[in-house]
Structures are given as C-alpha cells and as structure tokens.
Structure 1
Amino acid sequence: ANTYPQINRSLLYAGCILHDMGKVIELSGPVATKYTTEGNLIGHLVLIDEQIMLAAHELKIDEHSEDLMLLRHLVLSHHGLPEYGAAHRPVVLEAEVLHKIDDLDATVYAITNALQQTKPGEFTETIKSQDNRRFYRPKNDEALDQAPRLE
C-alpha cells in the first residue's frame, strides 16, 4: 500500500483480513481437519460473504452501499478466475492486488513445502499447483533450513 498510494488502503486491509475467514466455517477445526457439509456444498467465499452481510445488517449498514459492495467484491473475487473458485474476476484495483497477494502466498507455501522435503542439490517432486514444475533446491540453501516447517 505504501508503494501504490492510489490503493484504498482500508479496503485492501479489510479484504486481506476477511478473504479466507469463511474457512473457519468451511473446515472442521485445527486437528484432523476435514471439510464440513457447508464447506463442501457452499465454500468459503460464499460463507464469508454471508457473514459480511449478516454483520452489515446487524450494524445497520446499507446493503447497497458502495463500500460494502467493494468489500464483497474483494472477497468473492480473490481466487482470480471462476475455474479457481472465484465468483467473479477482479474488476477493482484492490481486488486484483488481493488476488495477487493471495496467489503469491499460496505459491510460496507450495514451493517451500516441496523444497523442505527435498535434499539440497536435487529437484522437488512435480508441484501440481505450479504447472507441474519441479523446483531446484540449491546446495547452500541455509534460509530454507531456518524456515518453519510447513508440513
């Protein structure tokens, strides 16, 4: 947000905080996590959108206000493409930025997880989410050894 002053910082922060909160309803809990019936049938994007609307109603926020619509758009579009679960493609700058942040986070997690299971000087197994690419773990990769285990 500091690099791009044209970004509505409050909207982006709200989207960052809320975009995956529906997973609390979508998933069963922190141990032996499984998808709930609601999670399987509805999904976290719609579940958090419903919670946003319930909160707006309770706080007496006009359900047609632009601020509320923009926040809902960020949440509903953060997966980027319908084939990845987005209800709509991002069409607001902050929604596109949130999508890129979320995608970057998932990419770093997937690659780091695979590298942590790979010996230095070798390639990871194929990473499905990364276009079936394999990543090389450098021989002197000390930073990866210090990273928290992601398994």
Structure 2
Amino acid sequence: MPDQPPIRSLKEGDPFAGILLAQEAAFKTSAKGSEYLELKLSDASGDLKGFLWDLRAVEGPLEPIQADAFLWVKGAASSYNGRLQLRLDKVRFVPDGDVADVARFFPVSARPVPEMLAELDDRLAGVADPWIRRLLTALFREDEDLRRAFATAPAAKSMHHVYLGGLLEHTLSILGMAARACDHYPELNRDLVTAGVLLHDVGKTAELSYQRGFGYTDAGNLLGHISIEAEWINREVGKIPGFPEELRLQILHIVLSHHGRLEFGSPVLPKTPEALLVHYLDDLDGKLEVMFRALREEGAGAWSPYNRALDRMIYRTRWPRAESVQK
C-alpha cells in the first residue's frame, strides 16, 4: 500500500485511493429505486463506511464484491450527520495474492502484545489460592493455542475493544480496576475475583472469528461464549484431582452471571459479591472504551452522532484535568 494514508487520518474533503478490507458489503436500493453499494472498509487504523452510488463505477464483475474481500477504492472523505465516511467513485476487487501484508488491514491494540502477556503472567503469579492458580495456569500458560488466541482475539464483533488484542487489553483493564476494588473492599476474595475476570470472556476466543473480518464462528452462533467457557472450566477442573466443588460452583457462577441480567444472556443473576463486582467492572470498561472511541472520532460540534452501542449521543467537550490546567 505505497503512500496510502491510514483511513482514520482522513479529514473531510481528503481524497483517497488504495486497498482496504471490506468488513461488510451490501448492495441496496435507495428510496428513488436506484441500486448502490454500502461498505464497511478497514485498515489497521480503524474503519469507515463507504458508499458507491453508481454501480457502473465497479470495475469488473459485482460477485466478488463481498464481505472479507480486499477492494481497491477511489473517492474522498465526506461528512454525513457529523460522521466521516468515504464517498466512492471507483471500486475494484483485489485477489488475496496481490495483497502483500494482510495484517496491515486489521485494527490492533495500542498496547504491545508481549507487554500485555507479561502483565498477564504477573497477575497469574500473584494468585495465592493453589486451586485457582493451578486452574488459571493450565488455561493461560500451559495451553499454548489458547494463550495465543487470547492475545489475538478482539473483545467483541462491534461493541467495544474491536481490534486484535482487544480481549487481552479489556481483561487486563478489568483486572487493574478489580485490584483497586479488592483493596477498598477487603471482604472480597481477591483470587476468586481474579479468576472470574480472566475467565469471564475467554470463550470469545472460540466465539469470534478474526482471521479476516470480525464475525462469529459456528460455535459462537450456536453456543455463545458463556456456554463455551463454562464447558472449558468444567473440563479443566475435571483434570485436577480433589478440586473443591464449592470453588468450582463459585467460579462458574461468576462466569454465568457476568452479563448481569437474564435478557442480556446471563442464565443467572450475580448472587455473590465477587460476581457482582466482575459484572459491573466488565460493563464499565466496555462502555468507557466505546465512549472514549467516540470522543476520538472526527466530526464537528460538541456532540457525537447517536451511538447505538450506548443508546445516546456523547458530549465531546472535555474539561481539562487539574494537572493540565495552566496556573
């Protein structure tokens, strides 16, 4: 991609020509009856919606223009309802063999993976309970395939931490908040909280697909990550002779209840202090990431466009932190 600017660096009116990954592609019909192409295009910097209003501008057949395809596009950045998008003049399918570095098309965590894995190992080493430490070590240290996937997967398909390494970053963020909460509430079982945080989303490594675009696997659609990780926990516990049944139930309860409400996919409500804490910290970290991302998006005005993930607009005028105020 010689001289191709990151799409998240574009400003309104900037021209763009280059190869992008189509995370989504749909041929639609406008209110006036004309067909157009709507795309969600990405590179490592993020993604933007793209619109081609005249299908005659597609170079070559229409059939290869689909999700997970690489496309060469030409157009310009424009703003609609305060949100930046690409208004396209040309679109062409690009075979995989013509793309030199596929990794350059995926958004990635700002934190280096080796740094995050080192922090993960420090957290594991700090677990005092021998049963919990053995369970977590089996999953996150000894299972090399799971460890690799845990460091690669996004935290969600579209809601929060939607980039490679997002799941590990999200988990470590919750662990940091959980450590402070356990300092504040000494009645909490710190090791049980650590186990719940590390295990609450580990099933997303199998629920989500992230080799090309971000989506769901067959297992993800059929079972969901909560069912997947509950099965993994039971499997690993079964390999540890004498593992306490009460501890197995407590860990599973945190995992099964971490969405907080039945209508959000949890089969049970949080019924222990540790489960309640993991639920709220998980919810807080995900929503704050969505909000901070909206604050970083380009656009004029004090308010973001309506954010579907949070069901609200976000006020983008920030009051400076005390240490940054000139005295």
Normalised-by-shorter TM-score class:
0.7 to 0.9
Could you say what the CA RMSD is over the residues aligned between the two structures, in angstroms? 2.0
Larger Rg: 2
The letter for the 2-side match of 1:136 is Y
Superposed CA deviations along residues 6-45 of structure 1, whole A, max 9, x for unmatched, are 0010000000111000000101235422201010010000
Tell me the TM-score normalized by structure 1. 0.85
1:116-135, aligned counterparts within 5 Å? 116-119=296-299, 121-130=301-310, 132-135=311-314
Superposed CA deviations along residues 32-82 of structure 1, whole A, max 9, x for unmatched, are 2220101001000010000000001111345x7111100000001000001
Secondary structure of 1:66's match? helix
Q: 2:255 aligns with which of 60, 70, 75?
A: 75
Secondary structure of 1:128's match? coil
- 1:111 is matched with which residue? 291
Q: 1:17 aligns with which of 187, 190, 198?
A: 198
Q: CA 1:99/1:30 → structure 2, altered by over 3 Å: closer, same or farther?
A: farther
The answer to whether the aligner puts 1:43 opposite 2:224 as a matched pair is: yes
5+ unaligned residues in a row in structure 2: which ranges? Answer: 1-181, 322-327
More displaced 10-residue stretch of structure 1: 96-105 or 132-141: 132-141
Q: CA 1:61/1:42 → structure 2, altered by over 3 Å: closer, same or farther?
A: farther
Q: Which has the higher contact order (CA 8 A, sep 6+)?
A: 1
Tell me the TM-score normalized by structure 2. 0.40
Moved segments of 4+, more than 3 Å: 118-121, 139-142
Q: CA 1:56/1:104 → structure 2, altered by over 3 Å: closer, same or farther?
A: same
Answer 1 or 2: which has greater helix percent. Answer: 1
Q: CA 1:119/1:29 → structure 2, altered by over 3 Å: closer, same or farther?
A: closer
The letter for the 2-side match of 1:97 is L
**Cα offset, 1:119, TM superposition:** 3.8
- 2:111 is matched with which residue? none
Number of residue pairs aligned between Structure 1 and Structure 2: 140
1:88-99, aligned counterparts within 5 Å? 88-99=268-279
More displaced 10-residue stretch of structure 1: 37-46 or 119-128: 119-128
State the distance in 2 between where 1:102 and 1:42 align: 21
The answer to whether the aligner puts 1:137 opposite 2:316 as a matched pair is: yes
Secondary structure of 1:70's match? helix
Q: CA 1:134/1:118 → structure 2, altered by over 3 Å: closer, same or farther?
A: farther
5+ unaligned residues in a row in structure 1: which ranges? Answer: 143-151
Identity level (%)? 34
State the distance in 2 between where 1:30 and 1:18 align: 22
- 1:100 is matched with which residue? 280
